[in-house]
Chain A
Amino acid sequence: VTDAITPPQTVGPFFHDSLLQIPRNVISEPTEEDRIAITGRVLDGGGSPVDDALIEIWHSDRSGRFMHENFLGFGRAATDDFGTYWLETVRPGAPGGGAPCIWVHVFARGLLDRLATRIYLADESSNGEDPLLNSVPEERRPTLIASRSENDGLGTYHFDIRLQGDGETVFFDI
């Protein structure tokens, strides 16, 4: 193992035209019942919207397979003036056993390194058996669970990301 790792630096406020050339939606050929949206707000320690964050997601398909011929499992979106992001994808699977989940990276001006977290879906019955979720102190687990609503027939999961303070999202050392 080398100790010559290149340190990270902030993504800064000017990444949009470069990094959003890649479309925001995960590439796949979903069936209607598999399609979902993930949305939420990114908020700072004062509760103000973070309007220049970049969200990346990475997940397996429903059967637990990562990236294959018709499935990329990667998506990217920036937050708007209200700190809101919106991604459309398919229902994730549970690649390593446990519960279905979506890995998330958060980048922003003021974040000197990326932040990694994980989205669990509130209506999955296996959340209670997920080893990583169970390793999180119980009172902080709700920060990782996205609630569901219907949005013109599209199952929509709400996952706010609080960078600091009350209700701070759990971030992982990944």
Chain B
Amino acid sequence: VNRIATGRRAGGIYPPYLFEGYRSTIRRAPSRSLLVAPSIDSELGGPGAALAELWGPDDDLTRNSPTGGGEALGERIIVTGHVLDVHGEPVARTLVEVWQANAAGRYVHDKDGHDAPLDPNFTGIGRCVTDDEGRYRLTTIKPGAYPWANHENAWRPAHIHFSVFGHTFAGRLVTQMYFPGDPLHEQDPIFNSIPDEEARARLVADYAHDVTREGWALGYRFNIVLGGHAGTPRDPDDSP
């Protein structure tokens, strides 16, 4: 089975597809090696900017519930950071989608059976659009930890799911942001599937006092560096 990463996925940054500690990988991980594809038309852009223009931001999760009309319960936080490409250049005007559990550790989802209350003022869903410097910023509440069935007394550490489009198809990233100092990190197989310790640590946001707003919300900084093929997208009008 596919344990050894090659190509893009070499070097300990990427998790192996098969990671037995995370049980759902056992039947879902490919057993064959990925085939190397030359960097061809996959470099011809991606939909991030167009999607951002079509849907726009919805970046205050404390107030965007259509069913409540009030403010979400929980510890109010601001999360901000830059989206950068593999050269460290900003990815401007791209779409960043987020989803998360509420302060009690419950998702608004039919398949979430955790016995914890829903908050009518919180859907846990939002979107940001990066600015010209690649910066995004969202206001939300700190999600709660929640139990899951992976192993005995298993709990997911608090996390926010991120979905990010880069300049290219190959820059596509779906990941999770964690919170500093969480004692649940060490027992979480999803977090610990990242082989390299420094790479794993990059999934943990920094508490940022300069982002913290006095009398209102705590600040966290989470920068996102996209992998895949680098390069500036070609002007779509310039395509063959």
A and B associate: yes
Q: Is the CB of B240 within 8 A of A95?
A: yes
B27 close to A44 (CB less than 8 A): yes
- B44 lies within 8 A of chain A by Cβ: yes
- CB pair B30 A163 closer than 8 Å: yes
A174 and B13 form a contact (CB under 8 A): no
CA distance A135 to B16 in the complex (A): 24
**B240 CB contacts on chain A under 8 angstroms:** 64-65, 95
Q: Give the interface residue-count category, chain B.
A: 35 or more
Give residues of chain B (38-92) contacting chain A, Cβ–Cβ below 8 Å: 38, 40-42, 44-47, 50-51, 54-55, 84, 86-88
Most chain A beta-carbon contacts within 10 A, residue among B17, B45, B199: B17
Give the contacting residue for A165; candidates B31, B34, B112, B202; CB below 8 A: B31
Task: List residues of chain B with CB within 8 A of the CB of A46.
Answer: 27
Chain B binding surface SS class: loop
Contact B6 A173 (CB under 8 A): yes
In the complex formed, the residue of B with least CB distance to A169 is B30
Tell whether, in the assembled complex, residue A13 and residue B31 are in contact, meaning their CB atoms are under 8 Å apart: no
Contact partners of B36 in chain A: CB under 8 A: 172-173
The stretch of B134-142, B171-179, B208-216 in contact with A is: B171-179
Asked if B190 and A9 sit within 8 Å, CB to CB, the answer is yes
**Contact status A15-B99, CB under 8 Å:** yes
Number of interface residues of A (CB under 8 A): 67
User: Across the interface, do B239 and A64 meet the contact criterion of CB distance under 8 Å?
Assistant: yes
Docked complex Cα distance between A4 and B88 (Å): 9
Q: Is A154 an interface residue (CB 8 A)?
A: no
Please give the distance in Å from B159's CB to the nearest CB on chain A.
8
Chain A residues near B98 (CB, 8 Å)? 18
A110 and B25 contact, Cβ closer than 8 Å, known pairs A8-B173, A171-B34: yes
A165 to B24, CA, bound (A): 15
Pairwise interchain contact B173-A174, C-beta atoms closer than 8 A = no
Q: Does A7 contact B (CB under 8 A)?
A: yes
A96-117 interface bits toward B, Cβ cutoff 8 Å, 1 = contact, 0 = none: 1000000101011111111110
Question: Which residues in B have their C-beta under 8 angstroms from that of A60?
Answer: 41, 44, 239
Q: Are the CB atoms of A6 and B41 closer together than 8 Å?
A: no
7 contacts between A and B (CB under 8 A): A15-B161, A65-B240, A111-B17, A163-B27, A165-B31, A172-B36, A174-B229
